[in-house]
Amino acid sequence: MWSVHDDAGERTHPSPEALVLREFGGHRSASLFPTRSKHANYFDPAQGPGMRRAYQDNGEGMNQPRTNPPHEDQRVLMSLIAGLPKVELHMHIEGSLEPELMFTIAARNAVSLKYESVEAVREAYRFGNLQSFLSIYYEACSVLLHEQDFYDLTLAYLQRAHAQHVVHTEIFFDPQCHTQRGVAFATVLSGIRRALVEGERAFGITSRLIMCILRHLSAEAAVDILEQAQLYREHIIAVGLDSYEIGHPPAQFVNVFERARQHGFLTVAHAGEEGPADYIWQALNLLRVSRIDHGVRCMDDEALVGELVKRQVPLTVCPLSNVKLGVFPRLEEHNLREMLHRGLCVTVNSDDPAYFGGYIAENFVAAQQALHLTASEIYHLSMNAIQAAFLPAAEKQALLDQAAAVYHQEIAS
């Protein structure tokens, strides 16, 4: 029987979160995670790789009383988050543009920004909703003009991802945001790709690219960018759908996505972030997507939850993003844990890490803290991401084996 434990324990100084985040800065030091006692009862041995059903079969997990394990357990959890091999499936490369790099690139391209300083940029990052975020996001993209800019942007993300033990990443890019400003598709793709090749050589990070269609633009504009993407088919695994969701339902892009599938692209779509559960149905049934990006609003529709569970459609959830954009008022109220317990294939991702206060590890840490995620839950979230990746089965298995080894070393030994 699966049981839930309370991970909340007395804090020490510096806190385990501070330690783990310091580690993510790239200075791994064994002394940051001193030897701690192992808690044999911490993990239910009935669970292991491929045990996603354990969540479905358990009707009582969410409401069970929680026990208080010793505070060392918090260290175990932080160490587990640090050590697990991570797969990121929802990250917009333009959303990884840190203010410092934004200023550097703006200066060399002689682009003037409406902000005086890095601090002023960060000060502006108080978003009420998706719309207020996207207007700043699109404006910041105006500094990106040359191949080198896209290279620097992507390499900076890969360096941070590597420091957090990301081993595979599937990156969104928004070419319409750049072609509209006169930057060629080839320039964007070439800079990103050159960094991805370098990232694999230097860090061993594997990657895929997903071209997103901006849903606030027309279906004709979408077809146009799809035809450009078709020229680089071998470098782009899938077509996605992003930007302002409400008022731009997936149904508007049925023909474009049909054409994308005919060209051999896989498909994904942002749905059920701010928009209703019905948009998730449309993405599934009309766009025939392999994954739903966000999808948190599925919980409003029981039949939809049943369908997503039955088909094990991956949902790429982004906890910090959802709070920054007001989808949930507080992380403590996020439905990630409940979704996991319902048997949904949920994963943790950063979305636009430079804007939302953290990369993938910070998302795991914050979700763990707010929702008291257990080691087993963290492990399952990581395994879900591996299973949901657009990777060959053998590569997924190798990553699952790595994750299992880390998990057992951290928890069960």
Q: Known catalytic residues?
A: 273
Residue number with CB closer to ligand HPA (120 or 246): 246
Q: How many whole angstroms separate alpha carbon 169 and alpha carbon 148?
A: 21
Among 351, 362, 377, 410, binds Zn ion (CB under 5 A): 351
Q: Residue 355 in contact with residue 137, Cβ under 8 Å? A: yes
Write down the least CB distance from residue 274 to ligand HPA, Å: 8
- CB burial of residue 67 (10 Å; 0-12, 13-18, 19+): exposed
Residue 270 engages ligand HPA in binding (rule: CB under 6 A)? yes
Q: How many whole angstroms separate alpha carbon 390 and alpha carbon 314?
A: 11
Considering only CA atoms, which of 413, 322, 412, 405 is closest in space to residue 85?
Answer: 405
Stretch that binds Zn ion, among 47-55, 132-140, 276-284, 351-359 (CB under 5 A): 351-359
Residue number with CB closer to ligand HPA (49 or 357): 357
Among 23, 170, 273, 410, binds ligand HPA (CB under 6 A): 273
Write down the least CB distance from residue 72 to Zn ion, Å: 36
Q: In what order do the strands lie in the sheet with 166-173?
A: 86-92, 166-173, 206-214, 238-242, 266-271, 291-294, 314-317, 345-348
The pair phi, psi for residue 86, each rounded to 5°, is -110, 145
Q: What Rg, from alpha-carbon coordinates, does the chain have?
A: 21
Residue number with CB closer to ligand HPA (42 or 172): 172
Quick one: residue 26, left, alpha or beta (phi over 0 = left, psi -120 to 50 = alpha)? left
Residue 243 engages ligand HPA in binding (rule: CB under 6 A)? yes
Residue number with CB closer to ligand HPA (47 or 176): 176
CA 207, 164, 338: angle at the middle one, nearest 5? Answer: 90
Residue 273's binding partner among ligand HPA, Zn ion, none (Cβ under 5 to 8 angstroms by kind) is ligand HPA
Nearest position to Zn ion, beta carbon: 351
Quick one: residue 362, left, alpha or beta (phi over 0 = left, psi -120 to 50 = alpha)? alpha
Q: How many whole angstroms separate alpha carbon 170 and alpha carbon 208?
A: 5
Residue number with CB closer to ligand HPA (92 or 337): 92
Write down the least CB distance from residue 149 to ligand HPA, Å: 18
Residue 243's binding partner among Zn ion, ligand HPA, none (Cβ under 5 to 8 angstroms by kind) is ligand HPA
Residue 95 engages ligand HPA in binding (rule: CB under 6 A)? yes
Residue 242 engages ligand HPA in binding (rule: CB under 6 A)? yes
**Binding-site ranges for ligand HPA (CB under 6 A):** 92, 95, 130, 137, 242-243, 270, 273, 321, 351-352
Residues that bind Zn ion (CB under 5 A): 351
